[in-house]
Every structure is written in C-alpha cells, then in structure tokens.
Structure 1
Amino acid sequence: MSADIGRVAGLPKQHEVPEHWRPMHGDFTPWNLRSSGGRLTLVDWEDRGWAPPHADEVLYHATRQALGGRLVVAAPAATEAVYFWIDRVGTRMNAAGDDVDRAFGERVLQALAASSSSASSSFSAAADA
C-alpha cells in the first residue's frame, strides 16, 4: 500500500527522511474510509508524508481501539511506528485547544501504549509533555 500512496500522493522524499521510511496517508482512520459500489476509497490526504513502516496500520488500530474496538498488539517490526505516533499524537494534543480532541488523543495514546509493551514507558513521557 505504501508504494501506491507515494505514487498517488506525489510525495518527494527529502534528504532528511530515513531511507527505510515509507509513504503514509497520515490519517488512516475508520472515518476516512468510504465504501461505494463494492470499492473502498481512502479520503483526507492532508496529513500524507513519510513515516516508519507500518505507520498507517498502527494508527488505524490505535484509533479503532480508542473508539471501543479490540486491542491489536503491534508486531515487533512496527515498534518504530508506535513510537512515531506516540510522539506525533502527543504533539497534536498539546496544540489542540479543544477538550474533546485532547480526550480522544489521550485514548489514542493509551491504545498505542497498550499495543506495544516496549512503548509503555514512552507513553508516560509523551502524555506528561
């Protein structure tokens, strides 16, 4: 999927982007998926960019869990993506003026931490920032 995202989104890769990072949608959440005529469409591309492998998958599962879905434990290969989102969601929460956005962000951070036991200590630091 990441190769398709890079092609469709026309993402140039800057020199500071780590070589192993892949194109990402950046807001791969249940509400950005549309189904019509048996086809699935992904909308809202404003947060597209480069991220560690599995970044979209990690955010999707964390968001689903924050909405009441089941916990999906991140594979060890996705640990970098979990840390990526802990940092990014924490930063967005600090910028959010809306209590609803902050509350949902906290639930997403909790889901991210729960998805990877190795990320649990980083969650505490991000939540306190």
Structure 2
Amino acid sequence: MRNAGSDGFVRFPPRWRNVLVPIAPARAAALGTTLYTASRPLPWAAQNVLWALARVCGGRALPGPREAWDYPLDAGVVDELRRQWVAVVGREPDGVAVYQRTQAARAALTVLLCAGRHSVLVRVRRDPTSLLQERRISEAAQALRPRSITVPELAGHGSAAGWHWTAYRAMATRPHRPLYRLPRGATDEIAALVETVVPRPSGAPAGWAGAHLDVSPWNLRRAGGRTVLIDWEDAGWAPPGADAVYLEAIVTAMRTDRVRSLPSVADHPDAAAYWLPIIRAREPNPNEAHLRDRMLVLLPGPVPA
C-alpha cells in the first residue's frame, strides 16, 4: 500500500473540510468523496456533480485546500496495520481517503481503503470499547436480518501495538442519499439489535428500550438500493421514541429558523426531556453551533399559544 501522503490530498467538502480526498488516482478520489454525506438536497446534488468530475479528473477537480497527510502513528505500527488491512481487502488499495471528526473530544482515525467493489472502511481506536459494540451489532444484524434497515457488514478486525481496528464493507461507490425519517418498523428492529448487545443499565425505567441514539441524515442513508444506518457506537437504552425525536429535531433545525412544535415531541415528551441535557452539554464547532441552538428551542415541545 502506497504512503498515504505521497500524492497529496484535498480537503472536502468546501464548508466542512473534514474529509481528505486523494488527488490521484481518479477512481480513489471519486470514492473518497462518498465519505461525506450531504444532509440537504442541493448540497447532495452538488456532491454528485463533484463525484462525477472526480471520476474523470481526480481530486484536482474538487474545491478545497491541498495538503500532505500521513498516518499519525509510528511507522512500524502503520506497516503492520497496512499488512492486516491488505489481507482484508484482498489486494493493494488504489489509495486511501480519510475522515476526520469535527468533534475534537471524539477524535479518531477513520480511513477508506479505496479498492472499487472491494473497498472497506476502517475505524482505528486506542480504546476498543466502541469498536467492539459496533462489531457486535453488525454481527447481530447478520443473525437477526432486519428488514427496514441495513447495518454495515463486518469485513475484519485486528490490532497492532495497542491500536485496535474494525473494517466494514463499503456501502456504495457513489454518494449516499440522506434520509429524513426512519422507515416503518425501524424503531422496533433497532431496539432488538441494541438489546441483543448492550446490557440494560441499572436503574433504567421500565419503559426504556434499545436505541441508536445518533440517528441523523448523515447516519441514515440510501445506498446501493438499501436503507443503511451507520455509526452505532453511541447505541444504548433510552425512552420510547428517542431516535424519532432526535431525527425530527435535527431535520427541522436544518430546514428552518422558526420555532414550531414537533409531532414526535408531542408523542414522546420523555424522549425530548432525555435529549435536552445531552444536547445542551455539547460543545460543537462553529459550523454546528446554530444547529444545536435550534434543536434546544425545538425539543421542549409545542410553543404555547
């Protein structure tokens, strides 16, 4: 596998710049653009145009600053990780794309090994706890086979010098369409998956159930003809309707500055009360602060007449 920084990268997309897309080769650059999921219709359309341009011209067709990048790990550790990853992919990848979290407190290494239909997404952590939970949920999904959603398929896992990784099969080779509501039956199937893996917390109220706890348009996607729900590391137990309330609050906050009542909040006031302190405690980057503030206004429920 080539040195990650040998050909250079472009930061993508223009506003967020949290994905490092390889400038070459073109097939890796196009796949790298899929690490970002636009959450609104117009940006998603623009992402598809840029994806098409990258397929022809490589990363040089994308807007954004150019820079070098290499793995922030010791060279010996990187060499061992690369060896393990190539064994999972089945061949040398064409290149890598890198996703960098916007929340500094949740910083982690996530790379997409670009190899066409053999591509895999690799998450690397020092603490393997969240990796293990996601891996078990993926395995549970293979056993339970939910109909409403698809969970990324586990490709492999391993470790090197105290660094732990889990790899998943790439969902699609073109941008994924964001979704704004959970499909019918998803809440019950999510609960079944989570409750298979995550023990019920001591003292949790009797009505609480398993929930994803990070359902958003960038985690709920339409890819390859399937509805895919990713990023299960926060999954746990919560009041009924927690996922539906969270998703509706995010979608509404993205679309309007107006205060309005949310049907899901009216139906599940306990879920709104659950989310308020969690969202209030967040320290988002400047690009996300307005979204958090709008959600805090929406979640208390209907505005008095």
The reply to whether TM is greater than 0.5 is yes
Which residue of 2 is the match for residue 78 of structure 1?
A: 268
Are the structure 2 counterparts of residues 48 and 111 from structure 1 closer, same or farther at C-alpha, using a change threshold of 3 Å? same
Which residue of 2 is the match for residue 61 of structure 1?
A: 248
Query: Do 1:3 and 1:22's aligned partners in 2 also have CA atoms closer than 8 Å?
Result: no
- Partner deviation per Cα, 1:6-43 (whole Å, 9 max, x = no partner): 44331110221111101110111111112123210101
Which residue of 2 is the match for residue 4 of structure 1?
A: 189
**Structure 1 counterpart of 2:268, which letter?**
A
| RMSD of equivalent CA atoms | 2.4
Of Structure 1 and Structure 2, the greater helix share is in 1
Residue 23 of structure 1 pairs with residue 238 of structure 2: no
Query: Do 2:201 and 2:237's aligned partners in 1 also have CA atoms closer than 8 Å?
Result: no
Of Structure 1 and Structure 2, the greater strand share is in 2
TM-score (ref. length: structure 1): 0.75
1:52 Cα deviation after fit = 0.5
- Greater RCO (Cα-Cα under 8 Å, separation 6 or more): 1
Which residue of 2 is the match for residue 90 of structure 1?
A: 280
Are the structure 2 counterparts of residues 50 and 98 from structure 1 closer, same or farther at C-alpha, using a change threshold of 3 Å? same
Any stretches of 5+ residues in structure 2 without a counterpart? 1-185
Identity, % of aligned positions: 32
TM-score (ref. length: structure 2): 0.34
Any stretches of 5+ residues in structure 1 without a counterpart? 121-129
Larger-Rg structure: 2
SS in 2 for 1:28: coil
1:77 Cα deviation after fit = 3.6
Report the number of matched residues: 114
- Partner deviation per Cα, 1:94-116 (whole Å, 9 max, x = no partner): xx162333322101112223xx1
Of 79-88 and 64-73, more deviation after overlay is shown by 64-73
Kindly report structure 1 stretches of 4+ aligned residues shifted beyond 6 Å. none
Residue 104 of structure 1 pairs with residue 291 of structure 2: yes
